[in-house]
Amino acid sequence: MSQALQAVRGMNDILPDETPLWERFEDTVRAWLKSYGYRNIRMPLVEPTPLFRRAIGEATDIVEKEMYSFVDELNGEHLTLRPEGTASCVRAVVQHNLLYGGPQRLWYSGPMFRHERPQKGRYRQFHQIGVEALGLAGPDIDAEHLLMCARLWDDLGISGVRLHLNSLGSRAERHRHREALVAYLQEHRDALDEDSRRRLVTNPLRVLDSKNPAMQALIEGAPRMLDYLGDESAAHFEGVQAVLRGAGIPFRIDPRLVRGLDYYNLTVSEWVTDRLGAQGTVCGGGRYDGLVELVGGKPAPACGFAMGVERLVALMREAGVADAGEALDVYLVHQGAAADAFAFTVAERLRDHGFSVLHHAGPGGFKAQMKRADASGAAVAVIIGDDEAAAGEASVKALREERPQTRAPLDALPAALSDILYGERTD
Ligand code: ATP
Ligand code: MG
């Protein structure tokens, strides 16, 4: 036997025992997005590498070290497996002129790829739900996104997810803050770790994002972006907070919240939990008014957020949320040449009536098949021997309650099943 092949490290199979909870998550998310009027958009998993370099920024973790990039050997194109969805979404909106039709409220979902060190809650292929609103500038839309998230946590049945907020102001304000920050960091250059020294030159704001414990005191004392906001930016930020207060959604202003990507301005947000260990951020987002133009479109404001599906599903599991697992209605037991043929007719007829039917395949006598039926979780066994087949009938046995076995002609079978599945219980 040759050695068994394994999946790529950090890229997980999601097995049938786990998918019902994912489906519960997906069903909830779909209904939730619909209730806010967001429309689904689907982009390719692979994009030209320059899209991400330009949109996400050169001096970010993603572009510096996390992208799966390769050269298409057939035509020399530089391509990247998408590490996030916003850049692709904006590219699609610009490419197809969607903004000519007015503001767009969009969402997407699917796998993202980042070459990170795999650990609990951090994978190389993971899944996001992304939500973007393009063409809207006011704080009302930033607030809408935060209200949406608060509702989703409720809908999903999870609690204890806290909102952190900050404002990164305008480009000019960030520039002034940056100068003060660089001066401060240079003054404390000896205390900076290697990453931060490099970022001091390439992207000093990202020093604030450092997770190195040894740097935390230094970061605590750094100039705060909030102190550099002009009137307009401050009013925008206040507008967001006013809606949150009105809706009774608690939040904390976190001056160190800068987010990992370059394209943000004004409001930035993260939703954080203590229940997942080190990987506690389940959702992040904010405003990115410069990105549409950066990707080649006519300037247009935009904001959005993305959540990590693995982390949210883990929270649901931890909270004991029941999955969407729909039990099987019927296990179809059959034996004998005539019965085997008739079984197909019966199975298709039952599916016409909306029942789920698992048709026994392969060898096995009645006894072995009944064991399988029991293990399948089906509510009912429909049993066909050559006797039944000759009469155009089937026997019906309830598997999850005490009931006498009955026998019904094909036409009466759906009613007999409904009686067991939805009728009054006799026990
Ligand atoms: P982190 O600080 O955890 O690296 P990030 O700032 O890189 O997160 P974003 O780019 O904002 O993350 O992505 C949005 C969400 O996607 C995160 O809040 C998280 O829930 C999830 N996420 C990001 N990277 C991963 C990953 N490698 N594995 C699993 N989930 C992830
Ligand atoms: Mg990251």
Of all atoms in ligand 1, which is nearest to the CA of residue 307?
A: 15
pLDDT digits (tens, 9 = 90+) for 293-350: 999 999 999 999 999 999 999 999 999 998 877 789 999 999 999 999 999 999 999 9
Residue 197's pLDDT is what?
A: 87
E strands, 254-379, where?
265-272, 281-287, 302-308, 330-334, 357-359
pLDDT digits (tens, 9 = 90+) for 20-69: 999 999 999 999 999 999 999 999 999 999 999 999 988 788 998 999 99
> How confident is residue 426, by pLDDT bands cut at 50, 70 and 90?
very low
Name the residue of 115, 126, 162 to mutate for ligand 1: max ligand atoms within 8 A of Cβ: 126
Q: Is the pLDDT of residue 105 over 70?
A: yes
Q: Is 169 in the pocket of ligand 1 (CB under 6 A)?
A: no
E strands, 232-374, where?
252-253, 265-272, 281-287, 302-308, 330-334, 357-359
CA–CA separation, 315 and 270 (whole Å): 16
Residue 297's pLDDT is what?
A: 96
> How confident is residue 169, by pLDDT bands cut at 50, 70 and 90?
very high
Mean pLDDT across the stretch 403-417?
Answer: 96
Residues 6+ apart with CB under 8 A from 166: 225, 226, 253, 254, 255, 256, 257, 258, 267, 268, 269
Q: Is the pLDDT of residue 161 over 90?
A: yes
Q: Is 135 in the pocket of ligand 1 (CB under 6 A)?
A: no
Q: What percent of the chain has pLDDT over 70?
A: 99
Pairing of strands 406-409, 393-398: antiparallel
> How confident is residue 19, by pLDDT bands cut at 50, 70 and 90?
very high
What's the 61 CA to ligand 2 centre distance in angstroms? 7
Mean pLDDT across the stretch 276-294?
Answer: 94
Residue 364's pLDDT is what?
A: 92
pLDDT higher at 175 or 314: 314
CA–CA separation, 115 and 290 (whole Å): 27
What's the 23 CA to ligand 1 centre distance in angstroms? 21
What's the 397 CA to ligand 2 centre distance in angstroms? 54
Q: Is the pLDDT of residue 374 over 50?
A: yes
Q: Is the pLDDT of residue 402 over 60?
A: yes
Residues 6+ apart with CB under 8 A from 114: 62, 66, 67, 68, 83, 124, 126
Residue whose CA is closest, atom 9 of ligand 1?
A: 284
Q: Is 308 in the pocket of ligand 1 (CB under 6 A)?
A: yes
Q: Is 206 in the pocket of ligand 1 (CB under 6 A)?
A: no
- In 10 A of CB 279, how many CB atoms? 16
Q: Considering every ligand atom, which ligand is closest to the CA of 122?
A: 1
Residue 425's pLDDT is what?
A: 47
What's the 399 CA to ligand 2 centre distance in angstroms? 49
Of all atoms in ligand 1, which is nearest to the CA of residue 83?
A: 10
Q: Is the pLDDT of residue 82 over 90?
A: yes
Measure CA of the first residue to CA of the last residue in the chain; give whole Å: 53
> How confident is residue 424, by pLDDT bands cut at 50, 70 and 90?
low
0.85 exceeded by the pTM? Answer: yes
Residue with tokens 């063409």: 135
CB 329 within 8 A of CB 417: yes
Mean pLDDT across the stretch 376-393?
Answer: 96
Of all atoms in ligand 1, which is nearest to the CA of residue 279?
A: 3
Mean pLDDT across the stretch 341-365?
Answer: 96
Q: Is the pLDDT of residue 88 over 60?
A: yes
What's the 260 CA to ligand 2 centre distance in angstroms? 7
pLDDT digits (tens, 9 = 90+) for 211-256: 888 888 888 899 999 999 999 999 999 999 999 999 999 999 998 8
Q: Is the pLDDT of residue 261 over 80?
A: no
pLDDT digits (tens, 9 = 90+) for 119-160: 999 999 999 999 999 999 999 999 999 999 999 999 999 999
Q: Is the pLDDT of residue 259 over 80?
A: no
Mean pLDDT across the stretch 353-365?
Answer: 95
